[in-house]
Chain A
Amino acid sequence: MGPLQKKHLIITGLIILAGIFPFINQNDYWLHILTLSFIWMIAVYGLNLLAGYTGYLSLAHAGFFAIGAYSLGLLTVKAGINYWAALVLSCVITSVIGFLIGLISLRTREHFFAIYTLCVGYVIYLVIDKWDSLTGGVRGLIGIPAPSNIGPLSFESTLSQYYLVLFFLLATIFVMYRIVHSLSGRTFIAIRNSEELAGTIGISTMKNKLVVFVLSTFFAGLAGALYASFIRFIGPDIGYTTVIFDLLTYLLVGGIGTLAGPVVGTMLIVSVSQSLQFLQDYRMLIFGPLLTLIIIFYPRGIVGFFSDWYRKRQSTKLQSQKKKQVKSNMDDEDLHEDRVKEG
């Protein structure tokens, strides 16, 4: 079996596992935690495309998550729009705001970009927190409806919401996979590698960065909107800076710039933090050093570590195979001298 088939097998297995999980585990609490994790993963994928593949570490994405959530909340609760229309609109609103912010913030780079977007994120939080008449301020927004029925499909139960969110997660991963393994993905990676070089091989860096930025805010907005309709209540704190650091932790632990990173990191941190719940906020005493160690020793996270390890194993295998081949060629040499020369 080739490495590609192995990969496909693992992926299919995981999808099936996610599909039958509710039947294995009848505990609603875990279903709830898992659904929430899926929602975070969607946002982390958006962040990964920008920070991991294009090299722009945005710290504003909790803000975009909140914009998505509040758009959905306000559109359904205050404007009374149909849920699905509101969901689409929320993503569009987030993307449009993302476009405007990207237009300005992408003029900065590296640390300056990170600091700038951190400020942008905080401003978004403040706007939500202080714009009482629109957002309800610190009181938050309550009574957000669950997704409305599509024909016979109803999304009132935890179980149906689990599948709905899983569907969006799989769609997100599919889109990411296609993008990363495409000429566009190569273009983004070229920008991450060296913007100067990318420019001289004819890549319009600003245009491409803007496309990625908007796309990544789209996914943050989608995640936010799903969050709002899943939790049914939102407050300004979902846009607070701690949220972006959570997302970033998931990404860094799982593996920034890897396709499986967001899933691995989110699952790991969420489950560890669930089992360490008795420690409350002291959990950070464990996560802090852990994160530091991972960044120092495995800059591409757990997934990066495994893929490096796998590649090394593969190449040593290849080399020993080659050695064997050379040896057998040498044995043949006397008999087929011309043929070896041609080869």
Chain B
Amino acid sequence: MFIETKELTKQFGGLAAVKNVDFAIEKGKINAIIGPNGAGKSTFFNLVSGSYRPTSGQVFYKGENITNLPSNKIAKLGVSRTFQTTNLFEQATVLDNVIVGHRLRTQSNLLDAVLRTKRYKREEKQCRDKAMEVLDFTGLTHITDQLAGSITQEEKKRVAFALALATDPEVVFLDEPAAGINPGETEGLAELMKKMVKKGITVCLIEHKMQMVMKLAEKIMVLNYGEKIAEGTADEVMSNKKVIKAYLGGDASA
């Protein structure tokens, strides 16, 4: 198994934001997590990527138990993510935002930086090259020198993708990448995700736009009130009674 969660649970006070979720993310595919607002999707991401500690349960990555690793160590293993709200550094250029994304693959320290050692120069170039490469991959070469604060919403999403890709990930978690952008642009992002998979990167996304999910995802998990209520292909999930109930506003937790 590539990434697997076992009885993953996160409790916020009395509220179980994620409850006993068993889920496997399949390598080389586009996986998706859907569910109504507040279902626990982002929390699930935060648990897998190490931003939150689970209350109970485990997360395995390529057979290794990563449940209690901090987020930076999980990133080093090849797990990357974007956030629901993009938090780029708006006063810096797009390129500057992305360069630091490759920092985790470099070794040079402060002394190297002050003395500008050979190692430092090589790694600086390595980070710059990587940034240019992922900016090219995400279709942003024309705006590398613009301030991140001055670009469009869709471009910001792409920069967030680029930043995640600069870490050389094996899997990326995308939290509502298409939120707040128009249908044409959504199409473009969907293409980008397919391109990522083609490059060998596993994708797991959270999305509200059903059409996009149904078209893209090969494996879907549906969360509702923190619990997994269905899992499978688009068709399987869509014909599931619990899912229909949850989405039509019925009380699915009954």
Instruction: Give the number of residues in A that approach B within 8 Å (Cβ atoms).
Output: 25
Query: Residue A203 contacts which of B83, B104, B114, B116 (CB distance < 8 angstroms)?
Result: B104
Closest to A186 in B: B100
The reply to whether B120 and A182 form a contact with Cβ atoms under 8 Å apart is yes
The reply to whether B51 and A178 form a contact with Cβ atoms under 8 Å apart is no
The reply to whether A199 and B89 form a contact with Cβ atoms under 8 Å apart is no
The interface centre, meaning the residue of B88, B113, B120, B164 with most chain A CB atoms within 10 A of its CB, is B113
The reply to whether A205 and B72 form a contact with Cβ atoms under 8 Å apart is yes
Q: What is the distance, in angstroms, from A290's C-beta to the closest C-beta of chain B?
A: 24
Further 16 A-B residue pairs, CB within 8 A, beyond A182-B120, A184-B110, A197-B87: A183-B108, A183-B120, A186-B96, A186-B103, A187-B100, A189-B89, A199-B50, A199-B51, A199-B71, A199-B75, A200-B49, A200-B51, A201-B166, A202-B72, A203-B100, A204-B72
Q: Is A277 an interface residue (CB 8 A)?
A: no
Q: Is B177 an interface residue (CB 8 A)?
A: no
Query: Residue A199 contacts which of B72, B100, B108, B110 (CB distance < 8 angstroms)?
Result: B72
- B contact residues around A185 at 8 Å (CB): 113
Q: Is A215 an interface residue (CB 8 A)?
A: yes
Q: Is A190 an interface residue (CB 8 A)?
A: yes
Q: What is the distance, in angstroms, from B48's C-beta to the closest C-beta of chain A?
A: 11
User: Can you name 26 A-B pairs with beta carbons within 8 Å?
Assistant: A178-B116, A182-B114, A183-B103, A183-B108, A186-B99, A190-B89, A193-B87, A193-B88, A193-B89, A196-B83, A197-B87, A199-B71, A199-B72, A199-B75, A200-B49, A200-B50, A200-B51, A200-B75, A200-B80, A201-B75, A201-B80, A201-B163, A203-B104, A204-B70, A204-B72, A211-B110
Q: How far is the CA of A215 from the CA of B109 in the complex (A)?
A: 13
Q: Is A194 an interface residue (CB 8 A)?
A: yes
Chain B interface extent, by class: 35 or more
> Which of chain A's residues 173-187 have a Cβ closer than 8 Å to chain B?
175, 178-179, 182-187
Q: Is B170 an interface residue (CB 8 A)?
A: no
Q: Is B101 an interface residue (CB 8 A)?
A: yes
Specify the main secondary structure of chain A where it touches its partner.
helix
Q: Is B167 an interface residue (CB 8 A)?
A: yes
> Which of chain A's residues 29-73 have a Cβ closer than 8 Å to chain B?
none
- B contact residues around A190 at 8 Å (CB): 89, 100, 103
Q: How far is the CA of A196 from the CA of B71 in the complex (A)?
A: 9
Task: Report which B residues bind A (CB closer than 8 A).
Answer: 49-51, 70-72, 75-76, 80-81, 83, 87-89, 92, 96, 99-101, 103-106, 108-110, 113-114, 116, 120, 123-124, 127, 163-164, 166-167
Q: What is the distance, in angstroms, from B160's C-beta to the closest C-beta of chain A?
A: 9
Closest to B115 in A: A178
Q: How far is the CA of A183 from the CA of B50 in the complex (A)?
A: 24
Q: What is the distance, in angstroms, from A201's C-beta to the closest C-beta of chain B?
A: 5
Closest to A300 in B: B91
Q: How far is the CA of A184 from the CA of B112 in the complex (A)?
A: 9
Q: How far is the CA of A175 from the CA of B111 in the complex (A)?
A: 10
Q: What is the distance, in angstroms, from A25's C-beta to the closest C-beta of chain B?
A: 33
The reply to whether A196 and B110 form a contact with Cβ atoms under 8 Å apart is no
The interface centre, meaning the residue of A186, A204, A215 with most chain B CB atoms within 10 A of its CB, is A186
Q: What is the distance, in angstroms, from A85's C-beta to the closest C-beta of chain B?
A: 22
Q: How far is the CA of A198 from the CA of B106 in the complex (A)?
A: 15
Q: Interface code A255-268, partner B: CB below 8 Å = 1, 0 otherwise?
A: 00000000000000
Closest to A192 in B: B89
The reply to whether B127 and A200 form a contact with Cβ atoms under 8 Å apart is no
The reply to whether A183 and B123 form a contact with Cβ atoms under 8 Å apart is yes
